[in-house]
Amino acid sequence: MIIGCHVGMSSPEYLLGSCKEATSYNANTFMFYTGAPQNSIRTDLKYLKIEEARQYLKEHNIDIENVVVHAPYLINLANCEDVEKLNLSMNLLDTEVKRTLAIGTKYLVLHPGCSLKADKNVAIKQVSNCLNTIIDNNPGIVILIETMAGKGSEIGINFNEIKTIIDGVNNKDAIGVCLDTCHINDAGYDLTKIDDLLDEFDNIIGLNKLKVCHINDSKNERGAHKDRHENIGYGTIGFDNLCSFIYNKRLEGKIFILETPWVQCVRKDVYQYVAYPPYKFEIEMIRNRKFNENLEKDIDELYNK
Ligand SMILES: [Zn+2]
């Protein structure tokens, strides 16, 4: 099973630090942002310790091709109203694509964006056109359109919309999908019926286009259009349904990435809450297919010293 989680990337070890963080959770892949997701400030590639990170991955038998980059949130290729903002989005995405390729991986997860006041079909067409430009300029990249929960004017909130984006992209090898279990639950898909869900995905988009799955439970009921991630087995989707998804034969070989929230523990010395990562224990519960009802306690014992 290829399973990992979102990890940080920061000074002083940057990408090498991300790799170490991932292996500390017993992950065999990971996902990261090449800089803060909410701004466009980026540390120069020469400081990221890319060579050291590649060496580390090799020593730990992790295939760098399975490592995933997430594009910053502020990119909105569906903005049809503000040319200046669209150009900023294009420039930022182009930078991210180049950084992804320089690091030596190929999968870049992208939120398809928000149509704002524009007609949805027009916005979707514009996203495909923008992607064509980016892809033509950057051979080797594979952009994965993420399934969205349906907040506000988001596009990509059902398989048909994502299929329409893909249809508009000329180079089909350079485009794929990242399916987020929390987002599709919140968008209205039923995760108690995994086979029907995968049939629908396969009929509309094709499961060969699915490269990465974000595995998250949801704080909200199906169809809530909210997008608030919950720890594995602690939300409305539930542990058994998430496992039925992960362990489905048709998803064998896909890359699974957790983006669940850090867990708050009380620091006795300072009498305040401090958050710690749940991933080591969540990956363990998924690998063992056994729910851990003591997640908070285990995290507290491991990290809160
Ligand atoms: Zn995302």
- C-alpha span between 182 and 185 (Å, rounded): 5
Report the separation in Å between the CA atom of 270 and the middle of ligand 1, taken as the mean of its atom positions: 34
Report the separation in Å between the CA atom of 93 and the middle of ligand 1, taken as the mean of its atom positions: 14
Question: Does residue 269 have a pLDDT over 90?
Answer: no
CA distances from 251 to 67, 156, 216 (A): 17, 21, 16
Report the separation in Å between the CA atom of 112 and the middle of ligand 1, taken as the mean of its atom positions: 10
Report the separation in Å between the CA atom of 146 and the middle of ligand 1, taken as the mean of its atom positions: 6
pLDDT value for 39: 85
% of the chain at pLDDT higher than 70:
100
pLDDT value for 64: 97
Question: Does residue 103 have a pLDDT over 80?
Answer: yes
Question: Does residue 287 have a pLDDT over 90?
Answer: yes
Report the separation in Å between the CA atom of 269 and the middle of ligand 1, taken as the mean of its atom positions: 36
Question: Does residue 268 have a pLDDT over 80?
Answer: no
Question: Does residue 241 have a pLDDT over 80?
Answer: yes
In this structure, is residue 303 part of a structural domain? no
Question: Does residue 164 have a pLDDT over 80?
Answer: yes
As a whole number, the mean pLDDT across the chain is 96
The residue segments making up the domain with residue 109 are 2-265
Report the separation in Å between the CA atom of 268 and the middle of ligand 1, taken as the mean of its atom positions: 34
145-173 mean pLDDT: 97
Report the separation in Å between the CA atom of 143 and the middle of ligand 1, taken as the mean of its atom positions: 12
Report the separation in Å between the CA atom of 110 and the middle of ligand 1, taken as the mean of its atom positions: 7
pLDDT confidence bin for 161, thresholds 50/70/90: very high
In this structure, is residue 211 part of a structural domain? yes
In this structure, is residue 62 part of a structural domain? yes
In this structure, is residue 259 part of a structural domain? yes
Report the separation in Å between the CA atom of 196 and the middle of ligand 1, taken as the mean of its atom positions: 24
Contact 256, 2 (CB under 8 A): yes
- C-alpha span between 292 and 295 (Å, rounded): 6
In this structure, is residue 289 part of a structural domain? no
Which CATH number belongs to the domain containing residue 108 in this structure? Answer: 3.20.20.150
Digit-coded pLDDT (tens) for 215-224: 999 999 999 9
In this structure, is residue 75 part of a structural domain? yes
pLDDT confidence bin for 70, thresholds 50/70/90: very high
Q: Out of 195-199, 204-208, 300-304, which region has the weakest mean confidence (pLDDT)? A: 300-304
HEC sequence for the chain? CEEEEECCCCCCCHHHHHHHHHHHCCCCEEEECCCCCCCCCCCCHHHCCHHHHHHHHHHCCCCHHHCEEECCCCCCCCCCCCHHHHHHHHHHHHHHHHHHHHHCCCEEEECCCECCCCCHHHHHHHHHHHHHHHHHHCCCCEEEEECCCCCCCECCCCHHHHHHHHHCCCCHHHEEEEEEHHHHHHHCCCCCCHHHHHHHHHHHCCHHHEEEEEECEECCCCCCCCCCEECCCCCCCCHHHHHHHHCCHHHCCCEEEECCCCEEEEECCCCEEEEECCHHHHHHHHHHCCCCCCHHHHHHHHHCC
Q: What is the value of pTM for the model shown?
A: 0.96
245-267 mean pLDDT: 96
Report the separation in Å between the CA atom of 175 and the middle of ligand 1, taken as the mean of its atom positions: 16
In this structure, is residue 192 part of a structural domain? yes
pLDDT value for 304: 87
10-37 mean pLDDT: 96
Report the separation in Å between the CA atom of 70 and the middle of ligand 1, taken as the mean of its atom positions: 7
pLDDT value for 36: 85
pLDDT value for 299: 96
Report the separation in Å between the CA atom of 34 and the middle of ligand 1, taken as the mean of its atom positions: 14
Report the separation in Å between the CA atom of 187 and the middle of ligand 1, taken as the mean of its atom positions: 14
In this structure, is residue 276 part of a structural domain? no
Q: How many domains does the chain have?
A: 1
